[in-house]
């Protein structure tokens, strides 16, 4: 089924600042690249939102029948602490701090990243390449840029010559910056600087003797610059020009600007047709920051183990909450907002759960065909999930009215409604029905509380045969009781 033939999709292209009709380079096929995480710490909730936004976009393209190649990289080398090409490599720094191999840091946080995204029901990308797996490709691109005259070598490092590039191309077009302004607003270079201009950026950095992550190159031992890996990996798997490049808004400058410059300098043409940027997540109205404590990790929301929220929220509720905002808007996370989302989520799941048993009649008072196209129109308008969700709740209203016998629906319309709502909720928004899982754990907690209470009563009555029986039978079922000074707790094996 190729639904895309009947739908006109518009996307907000950051490069032009306009909403444009989306037309892939090769009909029916989409190449999409999204900048992945630097795996040196647990994945941030803000990053989760970005990846969730692009997961929704990936899902919608697939739903429309496109063949999508979705590439999302893992940055496992080359990302320095600050944008001015100095500071330590983030992964090497963490490795030193914990006295482990850099690749142990990479492994640990890649696993965390995958686990977290899986909990939020993100689909894996088609290809997930790593920077360290593409050193040869990066060196090749540096050679090309040097050959074209847009880079220079200095003391074993190679820098991109932004001023030279800007003479023939336009540096700053994605972020709307002018090179002259950037030059006017930066300090002059010091005598020790290897760069010809402060705006130049590293393609290859010479590794100092203490730097552990290093590779041989024509310019000596070193490591690639962070921006270069995305150019190398996107070009390798999607070609010199591909459909969509996505990432967080914060990556627009300098990261994505540098990607454009590298690609144009090496191939001579623009690498990306549509640039899409996802906006950030704030917490209680303020920017999230580890240093101020205004921060929460995904696992803390799911476990409820935090000082910010009143209770735990299921990953499906968190995902539903994220989908209630447009991906280009700033979204504020708070306890009130999550509680409201949980209520909405439960209402939606309940209505969907009652669809099967819904009685049908000879007429429909709910125009399912019109409603269905409205859902598509919302998604076709730059993936407007909040509007889509508003339409989904319109359907919920009608489902409830039909349930109460106040409206009627035909069998055909009911089937159409059921298929459409399931497709949008489960396949496109990626929202799972987790109520069964939640109910199970609630029921288990209730039963365990009761058994612990019965055992305590038996012990108080010196009926040790009964109290031991409860404990031993539970042990046989794989449930361990632990008596502590604050009472008895249980754990599952
Ligand atoms: Zn990138």
Ligand 1 centroid to 379 CA: how many Å? Answer: 26
Compute, in angstroms, the gap from residue 35 CA to the centroid of ligand 1: 4
Residue 434 has what pLDDT?
A: 84
The mean pLDDT value for 468-486 works out to: 86
The answer, yes or no, to whether residue 224 has pLDDT greater than 80, is yes
Query: What's 387-411 look like in SS3?
Result: HHHHHHHHHHHHHHHHHCCCCCCCH
- Quote the percentage of the chain above a pLDDT of 70: 97
Rounded distance from Cα 227 to ligand 1 centre (Å): 6
For residue 40, report the distance from its CA to the centre of ligand 1, in Å: 16
How far apart are the CA of 353 and the centre of ligand 1, in A?
A: 41
Backbone angles phi, psi at 358, to 5 degrees: -65, 130
The answer to whether residue 54 scores a pLDDT higher than 70 is: yes
* Least confident window among 83-87, 227-231, 365-369: 83-87
Q: Which residue has the higher pLDDT, 173 or 444?
A: 173
pLDDT, tens only, 453-472: 999 999 999 999 999 999 99
Q: How far is the CA of 228 from the centre of ligand 1 (A)?
A: 8
> How remote is the CA of residue 54 from the centroid of ligand 1, in Å?
14
pLDDT of residue 293: 86
Q: Which band of pLDDT confidence, cut at 50, 70 and 90, is reported for residue 212?
A: confident
What count of residues does the chain have?
493
Question: Per DSSP, which regions of 253-362 are E strands?
Answer: 272-278, 281-283, 286-287, 331-333
402: pLDDT confidence band, cut at 50, 70 and 90? Answer: very high
How much distance in Å is there from the Cα of 156 to the middle of ligand 1?
A: 24
Whole-number Å distance, alpha carbon 39 to ligand 1 midpoint, is 13
| Helix (H) / strand (E) containing 31 | strand 29-34
Compute the average pLDDT of residues 414-419: 98
Q: How much is the pLDDT for 46?
A: 94
- How far, in Å, CA of 380 to CA of 377, rounded? 5
pLDDT in tens, 228-265: 999 999 999 999 999 999 999 999 999 999 999 999 99
Nearest to 9 by CA among 368, 432, 428, 430: 428
Ligand 1 centre distance from Cα of residue 242 (Å)? 14
Q: 75 C-alpha vs ligand 1 centroid, how far in Å?
A: 8
Whether the predicted pLDDT of 191 surpasses 70: no
The whole-number average pLDDT for the span 28-45 is 95
Residue 493's pLDDT band (boundaries 50, 70, 90)? low
Which pLDDT band, with edges at 50, 70 and 90, does 210 fall under?
confident
How much is the pTM? 0.88
Closest CA to 174 of 11, 12, 15, 13: 15
Asked if residue 84 has pLDDT above 80, the reply is no
- Does the pLDDT of residue 436 top 60, yes or no? no
Residue 489's pLDDT is 80
Q: Is 81 annotated as a binding residue?
A: no
48 is in an annotated binding site: no
The pLDDT of residue 435 is: 64
Which of these, 391, 424, 378, lies nearest to 9 by C-alpha position?
A: 378
d(CA 77, CA 133): 10
Greater model confidence, 150 or 442: 150
Distance 318 CA to ligand 1 centre (A): 26
258: annotated binding-site residue? no
Per-residue pLDDT, averaged over 222-233, amounts to 96
Q: Which of 463, 369, 454, 457 lies closest to 416 in space, CA to CA? A: 369
Tell me the mean pLDDT in the region 265-282: 97
What pLDDT shows up at residue 80? Answer: 86
Q: Report CA(256)–ligand 1 centroid distance (Å).
A: 7
Check residues 475 and 489 and name the one with the higher pLDDT: 475
Phi, psi of 297 (to 5 degrees): -90, 150
Using a pLDDT cut of 90, give the percent of the chain over it.
83
Confidence of residue 433 (pLDDT cuts 50, 70, 90): very high
- Ligand 1 (ion): residues with CB under 5 Å are 35, 230
Render pLDDT for 283-312 as a digit per residue (tens, 0 to 9): 999 999 888 889 999 999 999 999 999 999
pLDDT at 166: 97
């Amino acid at each position: 089924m190729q639904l895309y033939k009947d739908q006109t999709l518009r996307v907000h292209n950051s490069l032009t600042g306009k909403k444009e009709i989306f037309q892939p380079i090769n009909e029916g096929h989409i190449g999409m690249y999204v900048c992945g995480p630097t795996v040196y710490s647990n994945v941030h909730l803000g990053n989760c939102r970005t990846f969730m936004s692009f997961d929704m976009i990936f899902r919608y393209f697939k739903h429309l029948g496109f063949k999508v190649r979705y590439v999302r990289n893992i940055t496992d080398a080359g990302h320095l602490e600050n944008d001015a090409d100095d500071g330590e490599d983030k992964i090497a720094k963490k490795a030193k701090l914990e006295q482990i191999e850099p690749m142990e840091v990479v492994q640990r946080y890649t696993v965390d990243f995958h686990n977290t995204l899986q909990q939020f029901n993100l689909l894996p990308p088609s290809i997930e390449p790593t920077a360290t797996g593409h050193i040869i490709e990066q060196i090749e691109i540096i050679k090309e840029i040097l050959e074209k005259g847009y880079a220079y070598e200095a003391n074993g490092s190679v820098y991109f010559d932004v001023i030279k590039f800007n003479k023939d191309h336009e540096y700053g077009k994605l972020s709307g910056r002018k090179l002259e302004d950037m030059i006017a607003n930066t300090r002059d270079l010091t005598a020790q600087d290897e760069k010809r201009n402060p705006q130049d950026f590293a393609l290859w950095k010479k590794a100092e003797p203490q730097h552990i992550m290093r590779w041989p190159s024509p310019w000596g031992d070193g490591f690639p610059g962070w921006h270069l890996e995305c150019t190398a990996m996107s070009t390798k798997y999607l070609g010199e020009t591909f459909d969509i490049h996505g990432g967080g808004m914060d990556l627009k400058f300098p990261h994505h600007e540098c990607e454009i410059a590298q690609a144009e300098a090496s191939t001579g043409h623009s690498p990306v047709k549509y640039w899409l940027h996802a906006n950030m997540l704030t917490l209680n109205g303020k920017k999230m920051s580890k240093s101020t404590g205004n921060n929460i990790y995904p696992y803390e929301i799911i476990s409820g183990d935090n000082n910010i929220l009143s209770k735990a929220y299921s990953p499906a509720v968190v995902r539903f909450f994220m989908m209630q905002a447009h991906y280009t808007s700033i979204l504020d996370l708070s306890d009130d907002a999550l509680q409201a989302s949980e209520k909405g989520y439960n209402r939606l799941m309940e209505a969907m759960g009652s669809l099967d048993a819904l009685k049908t009649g000879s007429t429909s008072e709910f125009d399912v065909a019109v409603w269905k196209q409205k859902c598509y129109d919302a998604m076709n308008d730059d993936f407007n999930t909040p509007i889509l969700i508003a339409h989904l709740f319109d359907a919920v209203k009608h489902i409830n009215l039909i349930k109460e016998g106040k409206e009627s629906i035909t069998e055909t319309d009911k089937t159409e409604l059921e298929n459409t709502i399931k497709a949008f909720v489960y396949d496109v928004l990626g929202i799972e029905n987790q109520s069964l899982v939640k109910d199970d754990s609630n029921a288990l907690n209730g039963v365990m509380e009761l058994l612990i209470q019965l055992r305590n009563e038996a012990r108080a009555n010196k009926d040790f045969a009964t109290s031991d029986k409860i404990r031993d039978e539970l042990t046989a079922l794989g449930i361990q009781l632990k008596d502590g000074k604050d009472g008895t707790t249980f754990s599952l094996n």
